């Protein structure tokens, strides 16, 4: 319960019926805009994958995947996906997607180790997307272009929602700013990473923080990132390592920064081997996904995930993600949220 953010004088601007209609509006409109902006086609995705192939996303490397035995396959173990970061790249190769085009899908996951609060749930739903790129596009400038196109789709969706429900007022700034995690550290050396995110988002409204996963000059990471999908070690045009990052916005309802998307240019062979070495995970080279990449059977790509429930929460001005999605919450959290005028589904 200590994780619960209790906004002062919170007022629900949409009732239950309007909220459900708004969720449908946002999901249908945004995914069409995302598809158009990045030239993506929808594909069907798995809820679970086989254990031991290196396909499941390791997130920060400590979260335990939900697993179960498959009776008709001799009790081999399957894992519920954490995300589809690696599966999507395998799918690009399987579908022979050309450079400049890509795929997106509805990803549904269970993350049993999440600390439940206003933004985090056991149930995760996001748009996972991945696009094929050329070698010359593995640059920071190309990454910035893609981020700006995604942000444009976010703002168009906000405009539609506010036109539909005029009691809502738009708050996203016209432009998104870019800053490297190392630059952010130098600006706020005495703050924690989350406090630095709050400070920069409060100032600029919407920010893409570059270079998530590598160690900064203070010897710490801004945030964890698995070593085998995003490229956080390649030095970019600004002289700092990192071809990945997070889209964050300042959310006035909760008065804090909120991450809407984690994304980046994916590892090539060189950065994969380096990052596995830096993280002491060279043994992963023997897994199926990694063998495919090292054998040049996978295309170069860029990709990420955009939280569906979280985006709906923000654009509908809700104070808790449980007002958007049906999940399991502690009884005391349900009771207090009801008292705070944010009843959980």
Q: Which of 117, 183, 223, 259 is catalytic?
A: 259
From the list 198, 228, 246, 323, the catalytic residue is 246
- Assess whether 79 carries a catalytic annotation: no
Query: How far is residue 84's CA from residue 95's CA, in Å, rounded to a whole number?
Result: 16
Strand ranges inside the chain, DSSP E: 40-42, 48-50, 67-70, 76-80, 102-110, 123-132, 177-180, 206-210, 244-251, 256-265, 301-307
Catalytic status, residue 228: no
Q: Among residues 126, 233, 261, 301, which one is catalytic?
A: 126
Query: Is residue 126 flagged as an active site residue?
Result: yes
Q: Is 111 a catalytic residue?
A: yes
Catalytic-role residue among 261, 262, 271, 275: 262
C-alpha torsion angle, residues 143, 145, 149, 155 (rounded to 10): 100
CB 146 within 8 A of CB 176: no
What is the rounded CA–CA span in Å between residue 226 and residue 229?
7
**β-sheet bridge partners, residue 77:** 69
Please tell me the distance from the alpha carbon of residue 133 to that of residue 300, in angstroms, as a whole number: 6
Catalytic residue among 58, 89, 111, 271, which? 111
DSSP string, 225-282: --TTSB--SSB-TTSSB-SEEEEEEEETTTTEEEEEEEEEEBP-HHHHHHHHHHTT-G
Is-catalytic flag, 256?
no
Instruction: Exactly one of 57, 128, 198, 230 is catalytic; name it.
Output: 57
262 is catalytic: yes
CB 43 within 8 A of CB 95: yes
Ramachandran category for residue 93: left, alpha or beta (phi over 0 → left; psi -120 to 50 → alpha) = alpha
Residues with a catalytic annotation lie at 57, 111, 126, 246, 259, 262
């Amino acid at each position: 319960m200590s994780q619960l953010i209790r906004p002062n004088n919170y007022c629900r601007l949409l009732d239950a019926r309007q909220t459900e209609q708004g969720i449908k509006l946002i999901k249908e409109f945004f995914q069409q805009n995302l598809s158009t902006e990045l030239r993506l086609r929808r594909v069907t995705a798995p809820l679970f994958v086989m254990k031991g192939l290196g396909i499941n996303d390791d997130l920060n490397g400590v979260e335990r995947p939900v697993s179960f035995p498959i009776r008709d396959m001799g009790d081999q173990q399957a894992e519920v996906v954490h995300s589809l970061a690696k599966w999507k790249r395998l799918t690009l190769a399987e579908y022979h997607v050309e450079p400049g085009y890509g795929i997106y899908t509805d990803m549904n996951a269970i993350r049993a180790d999440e600390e439940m609060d206003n933004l985090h749930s056991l149930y995760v739903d996001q748009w996972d997307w991945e696009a094929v790129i050329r070698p010359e596009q593995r640059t920071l400038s190309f990454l910035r272009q893609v981020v700006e196109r995604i942000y444009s789709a976010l703002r168009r969706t906000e405009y539609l929602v506010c036109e539909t429900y005029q009691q809502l007022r738009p708050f996203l700034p016209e432009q998104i700013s870019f800053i490297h995690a190392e630059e952010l550290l130098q600006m706020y050396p005495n703050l924690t990473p989350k406090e630095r995110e709050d400070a920069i988002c409060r100032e600029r409204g919407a920010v893409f923080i570059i270079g998530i996963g590598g160690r900064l000059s203070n010897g710490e990471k801004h945030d964890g990132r698995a070593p085998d999908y995003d490229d956080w070690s390649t030095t970019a045009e600004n002289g700092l390592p990192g071809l990945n990052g997070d889209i964050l916005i300042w959310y006035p309802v909760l008065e804090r920064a909120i991450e809407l998307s984690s994304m980046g240019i994916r590892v090539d062979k060189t950065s994969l081997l380096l990052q596995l070495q830096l993280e002491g995970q060279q043994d992963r080279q023997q897994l199926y996904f990694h063998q495919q990449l090292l054998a040049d059977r996978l295309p170069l790509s860029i990709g990420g995930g955009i939280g569906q429930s979280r985006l709906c929460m923000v654009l509908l001005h809700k104070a808790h993600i449980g007002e958007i999605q049906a999940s399991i919450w502690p009884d005391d959290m349900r009771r207090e949220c009801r008292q705070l005028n944010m009843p959980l589904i």
